[in-house]
Amino acid sequence: MTTSRCLHDAYGDLLSRGADPSDLEIVAALDRGFSPARTRIPPARVFTTIDQVVEAHRARLRRRWWRPAVPKLRQPLPLVLAVLVVLLLAGAGYRAVPLLERAFDGDQGAHYVMTEHLATPLDLSQTSNGYTLTLKGAYADANQVLLVLTLHGPDTIPPLAEFSIFPDTRLIDAGGAAISPDSGGNMSEGGVASVTYAITSPLDANTLHLHWVIPHLSYRLPADSGAPASDAAFHPVAGPFVFDFAVPVQPSRVAEPMETVMAGGEAVTLERVVVSPTAARFYLRSVAMSVTCAPSVDGWTLDEWRAAHPATDTSLGGLTVTQDGLAICSLPFPLMQATGQWTLRVEPGAPLSAGFQGVRRGGPWVFHFTLPAAR
Amino acid sequence: MADARPWTGARFLAADDERALVRAARNDPDAFGELCRRYAPDLYRYLRLRVGNDEDAADLTQQVFVRALAALPRYRERGAPFGAWLFRIARNLVTDAYRRQRPAVSWDGMAEALHCPEADNPEIAALRREEASRLQTAVRHLRDDERELIALRFVAGLTLAEIAAVIGTSRSSVDRRIARILQSLKEYYHDH
């Protein structure tokens, strides 16, 4: 890179203003001077990590048919994951509570909402092209919004097997802020499905006024159920289905420990804890890797909870990293009643894929805090 | 100013090619991997210059891709170009990694990264050494934010538009700042 022409080709954005020889000279000097830095070769482990990240991406796409592996946060709305919900229509119609209870057997937080009758009945229906989507009820706390819904097709088609709400749904609060989808919901023998949206910003309102838009959806028939869950197996229904409704926000327990723990040369700060009737979220700063969070309260541990509730789908929780680098550990358990000294143990998590060795280091980080009463 | 595509490193992406890969990346792991592989060398070189050692630079480069995968669903093609988005992740990672050690990551080692290329002719070699020495002096005179612009352009090989996206400012602002930096470098380069 010594000729003037080469320099102009490479640095046309810097040199096009004129042919001042001193411009050429300084650019050429910088180009030559940095050429050793510019030709450094990354070590092989960088490319090994890329291969592992690609495999993790592949695994995530395989999982997404039933729930997002990486929920979106603070974005208008996800392109990520199709929300897949199985609907097996009840022949004789909808019977509220018993069916709802069965609908959430695997999700203890949502199950708690239903058994404690914390959801607000709505029964709002929207029909488009012969398909009726009914918003049966809604629930909100400081961690999430839970929407319960059913879908009925025209009489000319057999009962639907399942349906998918496309990922460009929009749930917007009264202030115009979008609330991001968190989970695709649970299957139900009663033709009931649920969708959850994650609340990750402090919530002051006692009531949420929400605007929910589902531009389109798709469904599968029972005959399609044995087929692979590909786009081709779904039948599209054009919308939009639009719902405006209000839902009271259930009390939650919130603490802001702002405690920093150094372990293994890495410092992590526990900024915020939100324990609601449906979930617990732990907000961690400076987490640069996959981690797992295990809370305990006065010696009681999450393992005991799991042993007592073997049907609980623990994979509903997970780690989300926001754009500003805040890592949010979510656990779908109703821990509202736990009293005493809390301990949160944060450990480097499972590898993103088999053999992943990339960025695990530091930890475990152990935090101690108390939670105030619900408000 | 024309927005020339730099030639540096292994990355030379036809715009259409890159756009197709970026569009596919969210749902196609192989496309995402291809983009990562293309940008890995320049990211590593930028981070190497920034942190001053091979190990940390490799660690951080690995973390860029892990974090990029986690953030991929939030990436919007209409926002920063994909390469600039990766560099922004890298930049934030460095800031996070070093925040505990010092308030801001300096570019103190950048001048030392300037070397004269080998030359068979002894006279040319001597001239090059002299040139590198003067350049080091001139670069030491720059502020950290100015050194970063130089690194992004001459080491990472980003376009001025990409640099604007990385540091969160307008293209015209980058144009003006780079022009001022080059002017300043010229003055020091010739006066010392």
pLDDT tens across B129-160, in order? 788 788 888 888 888 889 899 999 998 888 88
* Alpha carbons A373 and B143: distance in angstroms, whole number: 51
Query: Is residue B107 within 8 Å of residue B148, measured between CB atoms?
Result: yes
pLDDT at A168: 64
Q: What is the mean pLDDT of chain B?
A: 78
Q: Tokens 């404690």 sit at which residue? A: A116
Answer yes or no: do A46 and B40 touch at CB < 8 A: yes
pLDDT at A17: 55
* Alpha carbons A164 and A246: distance in angstroms, whole number: 24
* Alpha carbons B185 and A27: distance in angstroms, whole number: 10
Both A18 and A98 in a single domain? Answer: no
- Which domains, ranges and CATH numbers included, belong to chain B? 7-105 (1.10.1740.10), 107-192 (1.10.10.10)
Both A223 and A358 in a single domain? Answer: no
Is A108 inside a domain boundary? yes
* Alpha carbons B39 and B12: distance in angstroms, whole number: 10
Burial of A20 (0-12, 13-18, 19+ CB in 10 A): exposed
Both A118 and A23 in a single domain? Answer: no
> Is the pLDDT score of A146 beyond 90?
no
- Bridging pattern class, strands A342-348 and A170-172: unpaired
Q: Which of B30, B43, B65, B112 to mutate to test the interface with A (most CBs of A within 10 A)?
A: B65
Both A212 and A345 in a single domain? Answer: no
Q: What is the CATH number of the domain that holds A264?
A: 2.60.40
pLDDT at A244: 93
* Alpha carbons A365 and B161: distance in angstroms, whole number: 41
Query: Which of A150, A182, A175, A167 has the alpha carbon at shortest distance from A86?
Result: A150
Closest CA of chain B from A73, distance in Å:
8
Both A22 and A151 in a single domain? Answer: no
Residues of B with Cβ-Cβ distance to A40 under 8 angstroms:
41, 44-45, 48
Closest CA of chain B from A70, distance in Å:
7
Query: Which of A341, A329, A344, A339 has the alpha carbon at shortest distance from A373?
Result: A339
* Alpha carbons B67 and A352: distance in angstroms, whole number: 12
* Alpha carbons A225 and A118: distance in angstroms, whole number: 33
Q: Give the residue from A203, A231, A248 where a domain finishes.
A: A248
**pLDDT tens-digit series, residues A167-195:** 567 888 888 788 876 655 433 444 566 77
Residues of A with Cβ-Cβ distance to B109 under 8 angstroms:
none
pLDDT average, residue stretch A106-122: 73
Is A46 or A70 the better-scoring residue by pLDDT? A46
Is A374 inside a domain boundary? no
Per DSSP, what are the bridge partners of residue A217? A165, A237
The answer, for B145 touching chain A at a CB cutoff of 8 Å, is no
Is A299 inside a domain boundary? yes
Is A53 inside a domain boundary? no
* Alpha carbons B108 and A180: distance in angstroms, whole number: 42
> Is the pLDDT score of A32 beyond 80?
yes
Which positions 57-116 of B are in contact with A (Cβ < 8 Å)? 58-59, 61-63, 65-74, 92-93, 96-97, 99-100, 113-116
Q: Which range is least confidently modeled, A49-63, A354-368, B163-177?
A: A354-368
Q: Using 50, 70 and 90 to split pLDDT, how confident is the model at A351?
A: very low
How many structural domains are present in chain A?
3
Is A80 inside a domain boundary? yes
Both A238 and A110 in a single domain? Answer: yes
Answer yes or no: do A54 and B32 touch at CB < 8 A: yes
pLDDT at A353: 38
Query: Is residue A220 within 8 Å of residue A193, measured between CB atoms?
Result: no
Is B83 or A290 the better-scoring residue by pLDDT? B83
pLDDT average, residue stretch A200-216: 85
Query: Is residue A353 within 8 Å of residue A59, measured between CB atoms?
Result: yes
Alpha-carbon distances of B34 from B20, B28, B40, rounded to whole Å: 11, 10, 10
**pLDDT tens-digit series, residues B104-117:** 445 666 666 666 66
Q: Which of A7, A22, A40, A357 to mutate to test the interface with B (most CBs of B within 10 A)?
A: A40
Q: What is the ipTM of this complex?
A: 0.83
Range of the domain at A88: 71-248
Q: Give the residue from A218, A248, A278 where a domain finishes.
A: A248
pLDDT average, residue stretch A36-44: 86
Q: What is the CATH number of the domain that holds A184?
A: 2.60.40.1630
Both A75 and A194 in a single domain? Answer: yes
- Give the helix/strand (H/E) hosting B96: helix B82-99
Most confident of A81-95, B33-47, B77-91, B127-141: B33-47
> Is the pLDDT score of A274 beyond 80?
yes
Both A89 and A168 in a single domain? Answer: yes
Query: Is residue A60 within 8 Å of residue A69, measured between CB atoms?
Result: yes
Query: Is residue A350 within 8 Å of residue B55, measured between CB atoms?
Result: no
Is A63 inside a domain boundary? no
Is A175 inside a domain boundary? yes
Most confident of A83-87, B4-8, B168-172: B168-172
Buried residues in B44-76 as b, exposed as e (16+ CB within 10 A): bbbbbbbbbeeebbbbbbbbbbbbbbbbbbbbe
Both A107 and A239 in a single domain? Answer: yes
Q: Please give the share of chain A, as a percent, with pLDDT higher than 70.
A: 62
Is A276 or A311 the better-scoring residue by pLDDT? A276
Is A155 inside a domain boundary? yes
* Alpha carbons A151 and A94: distance in angstroms, whole number: 11
- Coil, strand, or helix at residue A236? strand
**pLDDT tens-digit series, residues B15-67:** 557 778 888 888 888 889 989 999 999 999 999 888 888 888 888 898 899 88
| Residues contacting residue A200 through CB under 8 Å, at least 6 positions apart | A73, A74, A180, A281, A283, A320, A322, A328
Is A245 or A77 the better-scoring residue by pLDDT? A245
Task: Please state the separation of Cα B35 from the chain's center in Å.
Answer: 16
Both A108 and A231 in a single domain? Answer: yes
Q: What is the mean pLDDT of chain A?
A: 71
The answer, for A226 touching chain B at a CB cutoff of 8 Å, is no
Both A150 and A218 in a single domain? Answer: yes
* Alpha carbons A180 and B40: distance in angstroms, whole number: 31
Query: Which of A83, A85, A313 has the alpha carbon at shortest distance from A186?
Result: A85
Both A223 and A268 in a single domain? Answer: no
